[in-house]
Amino acid sequence: MGKGDIRSGDLEAFLGKNTSFEGKMSFEGMVRLDGKFDGEIFSGDILIIGEMAIVNAKIKVGTLLVDGKVTGNVHARDKIEIHSTGELNGNINTPALVIKEGGIFDGTCKMDKGAEEAAPKVPPIKEKEAKDQKTVDLWDEG
Residue at 56: amino acid letter: N
Question: Does any domain span residue 139?
Answer: no
- 4 inside domain: no
- In angstroms, the Cα distances linking 140 to 30, 92, 130, 132, 136 are 42, 45, 20, 16, 9
Residue 5 domain flag: no
In this structure, what DSSP letter does residue 94 have? -
Q: Is residue 118 part of a domain?
A: yes
Query: Which residue range is the domain that position 88 belongs to?
Result: 10-134
Residue 31: inside a domain, yes or no?
A: yes
pLDDT at 139 over 70: no
Question: Rounded to whole angstroms, how far apart are CA atoms 59 and 119?
Answer: 9
How many structural domains does the chain have? 1
pLDDT at 114: 56
Residue 105, strand partner residues: 88
User: What's the CA gap between 67 and 88, in Å, rounded?
Assistant: 9
Cross-strand pairs, 14 = 32
Residue 3 domain-assigned (yes or no):
no
Residue 142 inside a domain? The answer is no
| Residue pLDDT, tens place only, 93-102 | 999 999 999 9
- So what's the pLDDT on residue 14? 72
* Residue 46 included in any domain: yes
Q: What is the pTM of this model?
A: 0.74
Strands (E), the chain: 11-15, 20-26, 30-33, 36-42, 46-49, 54-66, 69-71, 74-82, 87-89, 92-93, 97-99, 104-106, 109-110
